[in-house]
Amino acid sequence: MRYFEHAHTLIRHGWPPHVGRDGMPRFQARKLRSIVAHCRDRVAVYRDHWRDAELASASIAAPEAVRALPVIGKDDLRSRPLRDTLADGADPTALVRHETSGSSGQPFAIYRSPFEEHLLQLFRMRALADAGVRWSDRIVRFRQLPAGGVRATWPGRLRRALGIHPDADLDGIADASSMLAELARHRPDVVAGYPSTLRYLADEALARGAPLPALRVVTSGGEVLDASARRSIADAFRAPVVDFYAAHEFNLIAWECREGHGYHVCDDGVLVEVLDEDGRPVGVGETGHVVATALHSYAMPFVRYRTGDLAVRGPDACPCGQPYSTLGTIHGRAADVLRLPGGRRLHPYRITGALADDDAGWIAQHRLVQDGEDRVVLELVPRRAPVPGDLERLRREGARCLGEDVRFDVVLVDGFAREPGRKFRPYVVLGGPDG
């Protein structure tokens, strides 16, 4: 079944997708019927998790039907033996393994068949083209390299031999001198990396007077891209910054619309729901929990999987005319929520969102730290000295959001230390991995 479905997907794959916006719900429903039937028949964790669900795969006529199935989370999968999360008979040694960074405090291994891996990579290549990357562009990716190094695959070798996206994966936690030297050596057209890594490079290059290559585009991902980071990176590399929202469980989830209408969802690769605390879909413009279903992952399926992220739901059709649904702001991890007196909860973005204003251009980087239920500090690295009133404006906005029973302050710092092997965390909250 899965091979037939993969062939069907390849035929419909394109830029833009050949299924079009009107045909996307039918395409998604077809993929859901296949993956749900597969999970019921061949994946133990879903057979157990869906024991009380009455949804029959054959009855899925629209993507919304999948809401009859319960949401599943990382803890539900981690608590089971690996064999229960893989399709019956799957050999883990023959699969492609990805391991999350564990920034949530919970490292987790994901498995895909080689064909699934390459299929999902096609969706990413399509998104890169949409972001302005040309087939012949040299790409340098700064990332945390796996312990055994990056394993070459035959499609990757063939792609490079044909001159399509010649690329290099480089150590994103190396010192600045090494990374700047690698940039000079590779002379890329496109640079990709965590926002914190790219901003670190931009700041170090400016401090050293070292010229950075002028690029066609910079792509960021893996962390929340805030307005100050975007400004620093775009100015240093003299190129637009396009943010990608991805997760190892799905590869690509969404990427930024070049016309500024939020993020295009990779609808023919993943079904994305944005749900409230009670599991109901939020309205357009409202924030909710991101729940996603991988439409082409059979070796280790993810069906109605709670990603742990918060995002704003956008229009079902992007105003730019592309045939994708949209997300608005990506807020990041739902665990990064401020727990305040009286049981109140507040996402830090309610405070740091003010940093996106034009008059906050003096801020190079920020971190919000909660060191008590009733105390929150906004730490700022200035790009230049603030003018009178800048700090007071931020203090007023933070105090308004937090309430009178929380002490809020804004402090200036010289910078934030880079922690080897860890992403930069713009929010440190009580109960989080760093709080």
- Which of 142-151, 161-170, 318-327 shows the lowest per-residue confidence on average (mean pLDDT)? 142-151
Expressed in percent and rounded to 5, the helix, strand and coil fractions of the chain are 35, 25, 40
C-alpha–C-alpha distance, residues 298 and 35, integer Å: 7
Q: What phi, psi does 375 have (nearest 5°)?
A: -145, 130
Q: Which domain holds residue 228?
A: 2-333
Domain count, the chain: 2
Question: Band of the pLDDT at 423, cuts 50, 70, 90?
Answer: low
User: What is the three-class DSSP state of 369?
Assistant: strand
Helix axes 20-42, 2-12, angle to 10 degrees: 170
Final residue belonging to a domain, choices 284, 307, 333 = 333
Final residue belonging to a domain, choices 273, 304, 333 = 333
Q: Are residues 318 and 342 in the same domain?
A: no
The secondary structure of 133-156, three-state, reads: CCCCCCEEEEECCCCCCCCCCHHH
Does residue 435 belong to any structural domain of this protein? no
- Look at residues 320, 328, 327 and name the one whose alpha carbon lies nearest to residue 16: 320
Q: Are residues 395 and 419 in the same domain?
A: yes
Q: What phi, psi does 192 have (nearest 5°)?
A: -125, 150
Q: Are residues 153 and 283 in the same domain?
A: yes
How much is the mean pLDDT over the chain? 87
Name 411's bridge partners: 379
Pairing of strands 167-171, 217-221: unpaired
Q: What is the pLDDT of residue 51?
A: 92
Q: Are residues 320 and 194 in the same domain?
A: yes
Residue 251 CB: number of other CB atoms within 10 A? 24
Kindly report, residue by residue over 307-350, the tens digit of the pLDDT.
Answer: 989 999 999 999 999 999 999 999 877 667 788 898 887 877 77
Q: What is the pLDDT of residue 175?
A: 82
Q: Are residues 172 and 144 in the same domain?
A: yes
CATH of the domain at 63: 3.40.50.12780
Q: Count Cβ atoms within 10 A of the Cβ of residue 189 and give its class: 0-12 exposed, 13-18 middle, 19 or more buried.
A: buried
C-alpha–C-alpha distance, residues 427 and 369, integer Å: 6
Q: Are residues 298 and 413 in the same domain?
A: no
Q: What is the pLDDT of residue 1?
A: 58
Kindly report, residue by residue over 41-53, the tens digit of the pLDDT.
Answer: 999 999 999 998 8
Q: What is the pLDDT of residue 246?
A: 95
End-to-end CA distance of the chain: 46
Q: Are residues 287 and 342 in the same domain?
A: no
Q: Which helix (H) or strand (E) holds 338?
A: strand 338-339
Q: pTM for the complete prediction?
A: 0.82
Final residue belonging to a domain, choices 333, 353, 384 = 333
CATH of the domain at 393: 3.30.300
Kindly report, residue by residue over 235-267, the tens digit of the pLDDT.
Answer: 999 999 999 999 999 999 999 999 999 999 999
Q: Are residues 279 and 417 in the same domain?
A: no
Rounded mean pLDDT, 386-408: 89
What's the one-letter identity of residue 198? L
Q: What is the pLDDT of residue 334?
A: 66
Q: Are residues 309 and 412 in the same domain?
A: no
What percent of the chain lies above the pLDDT cut of 70? 89
Q: What is the pLDDT of residue 290?
A: 97
Q: What is the pLDDT of residue 10?
A: 73
Find out whether 19 and 9 touch, Cβ atoms under 8 Å: no
